[in-house]
Amino acid sequence: MAGDFASWRARSVFTKLLVVLIITGILINGVVFGFFAALFRNEQTRPFHKDLVNYIVLLAREVGDPPDLEKARAIAARSSFRIRYEGVDNSWATANTHLPLEQFSFKPSELDPGIKLGIYRGRHVVIVDREKGRLIFESEAQRRFFPELLKTHHIVILFLSLISVTLMAWLALSWILKPLRWLSTGVQQVADGNLAHKVPASRQDELGELSRAFNSMTARIRNMLASHEQLLLDVSHELRSPLTRMNVLLELLADSKTKESLRQDVREIEHLVTELLEAARLRAPNATLHRAEVDLADIIISTVRFHAHQRPGVKLMDLAGDLRCQADRDLLVIVIRNLITNALKYSEGSTRPVEISAYVEPDRVALRITDFGEGISAADLPHIFEPFYRADKSRARSTGGYGLGLSLCKAIIDAHNGELKVESGVGKGTTVTVLLPR
């Protein structure tokens, strides 16, 4: 679960925008801070260095010429400098330690070329040249122009400020991009067949316009499908009367091959009309089922016996557990017969019989029908439950039907709040699983 969330965040537009915003804020603050820091240092260090040189000149005069160690010690005691003298005749120092001068970069003072100022990591060293040697003044303290940055409470304040800014940016981006999440949910709902789903469209920006366009699109699709289904229903109802008249006329004809052929055609049309009307009834919001306790095992056994003579045959593998459930028996018979008929129809070239098994899941009973025929391609698999869709485009009578059988099965199982799943591959056969609540 954590991996899926991390993967989603890595692909999320929201995350990318947030990262760009954070990086941009850091860069802008860094540039501004660096600019003012450099400006501050340039403007603040120049007068400080002049004052430092003037102060050192006064201290050098107080030390004397030649330099007096005792005077130097008195100056070091009251100031923040360590003083040492390197001369031709003698050398001394007011402290046992001193700074390594090779690390400093020295520049001559603008006030006196005989005075050199060196700076390294905030420390200062001033060298005063004498005729027979040189005086070296070393600062004991490290000068910082932003000492407050080193204080813990200021760092905590800065850290909390950055968190607050990031949180506000996250909330702002979340609010701005919320319609994208609504649209994503809406697209998934439509993909699942819920065309009644609407996304909130109260926003007045571009994303709000996109949401309104999405709702308008789903409404038009819903109306088109409703008109399509109504047309099928109207045609189906209108066909019943002529079919009844045709059946009456057929009974008046003498028995012949032509009569039997016509009778078979009429039966196919009647079956088609019945499937259309039954599927439409089950998809209606107020569809009623005649539920009762049904033993799925009894229906499976009777249906297998009915198809026992058809090639390549039907093999009952296993009926495990208590397979009773609350369902409409007549509709379940239609589902199981249609599924077994399809499995046999598309397994004619196989030598292995169709395998049927049933088992119990928590709160559900399951039926599995597996054939070893030609299978269904990946391109056709998502459409097999659509009315009039057939993977076999020939619609030959030998392969049967008009593509309504699976659509009717799906409508029946959906009306029972169940699930119908199909797994298939070309040349690998097909497995159909029916799951019904107990």
Give the Cα separation of 74 and 63 in Å (integer): 9
Claim to verify: residue 315 and residue 206 sit in the same structural domain: no
For the chain, what is the mean pLDDT? 78
Q: Look at residue 270 and tell me if it is in a domain.
A: yes
Residue 88 is given by DSSP the state S
Q: Look at residue 299 and tell me if it is in a domain.
A: yes
Q: Look at residue 5 and tell me if it is in a domain.
A: no
Query: Do the bridges between strand 115-120 and strand 123-130 make them parallel or antiparallel, or are there none, so unpaired?
Result: antiparallel
CATH of the domain at 340: 3.30.565.10
Q: Look at residue 181 and tell me if it is in a domain.
A: no
Claim to verify: residue 431 and residue 306 sit in the same structural domain: yes
At a CB cut-off of 8 Å and minimum separation 6, what does 334 contact?
278, 408, 409, 412
pLDDT at 110 over 80: no
Place of tokens 């697209």: 187
Claim to verify: residue 34 and residue 125 sit in the same structural domain: yes
Q: Look at residue 217 and tell me if it is in a domain.
A: yes
Claim to verify: residue 433 and residue 400 sit in the same structural domain: yes
5: number of Cβ within 10 Å: 9
**Phi-psi category of residue 289: left, alpha or beta, with phi > 0 → left and psi -120 to 50 → alpha:** beta
- What was the pLDDT predicted at 396? 47
pLDDT at 43 over 50: no
Handedness of CA 256, 257, 262, 264 (dihedral sign): positive
The share of the chain scoring above pLDDT 90, in percent, equals 9
CATH of the domain at 237: 1.10.287.130
Summarised one tens digit per residue, pLDDT across range 184-217 is: 888 888 887 787 888 888 777 777 888 888 888 8
Q: Look at residue 170 and tell me if it is in a domain.
A: yes
Give the Cα separation of 10 and 14 in Å (integer): 10
- What was the pLDDT predicted at 27? 73
Q: Look at residue 2 and tell me if it is in a domain.
A: no
Claim to verify: residue 431 and residue 297 sit in the same structural domain: yes
Claim to verify: residue 208 and residue 84 sit in the same structural domain: no
Claim to verify: residue 217 and residue 153 sit in the same structural domain: no
Summarised one tens digit per residue, pLDDT across range 215-230 is: 888 888 888 877 766 7
- What was the pLDDT predicted at 287? 63
Query: Do the bridges between strand 91-93 and strand 324-327 make them parallel or antiparallel, or are there none, so unpaired?
Result: unpaired
Of residues 327 and 241, more confidence is placed in: 327
Summarised one tens digit per residue, pLDDT across range 245-262 is: 887 888 887 888 888 888
pLDDT at 34 over 70: no
Q: How confident is the model at residue 113 (pLDDT cuts 50, 70, 90)?
A: confident
Claim to verify: residue 248 and residue 195 sit in the same structural domain: yes
Long-range pairs of 215-223 with CB within 8 A, sequence gap ≥ 24: 218/186, 218/190, 221/190, 221/195, 222/195, 222/196
- What was the pLDDT predicted at 434? 93
Give the Cα separation of 317 and 338 in Å (integer): 19
- What was the pLDDT predicted at 148? 43
Query: Do the bridges between strand 105-108 and strand 91-93 make them parallel or antiparallel, or are there none, so unpaired?
Result: unpaired
- What was the pLDDT predicted at 252? 80
Claim to verify: residue 121 and residue 16 sit in the same structural domain: yes
Number of structural domains (the chain) is: 4
- What was the pLDDT predicted at 152? 65
Give the range of the structural domain holding residue 64, as residue numbers without chain letter.
Answer: 11-145
Q: Look at residue 185 and tell me if it is in a domain.
A: no
Q: What token pair was written down for 89?
A: 């005749």
Claim to verify: residue 308 and residue 426 sit in the same structural domain: yes
pLDDT at 345 over 70: yes
Claim to verify: residue 59 and residue 128 sit in the same structural domain: yes
Asked if 128 and 137 count as a contact pair (C-beta separation under 8 A), the reply is yes
Summarised one tens digit per residue, pLDDT across range 4-14 is: 545 544 456 66
Summarised one tens digit per residue, pLDDT across range 360-405 is: 988 899 999 999 988 888 888 888 887 766 666 544 445 555 566 7
Claim to verify: residue 159 and residue 211 sit in the same structural domain: no
Residue 162 is given by DSSP the state H
pLDDT at 281 over 50: yes
Of residues 81 and 238, more confidence is placed in: 81
Handedness of CA 308, 314, 318, 319 (dihedral sign): negative
Among residues 283, 318, 342, the one where a domain terminates is 283
- What was the pLDDT predicted at 436? 93
Q: How confident is the model at residue 147 (pLDDT cuts 50, 70, 90)?
A: very low
The mean per-residue pLDDT over the stretch 49-67 comes to 83
Give the Cα separation of 128 and 367 in Å (integer): 102
Q: How confident is the model at residue 140 (pLDDT cuts 50, 70, 90)?
A: low
pTM: 0.49
- What was the pLDDT predicted at 145? 45
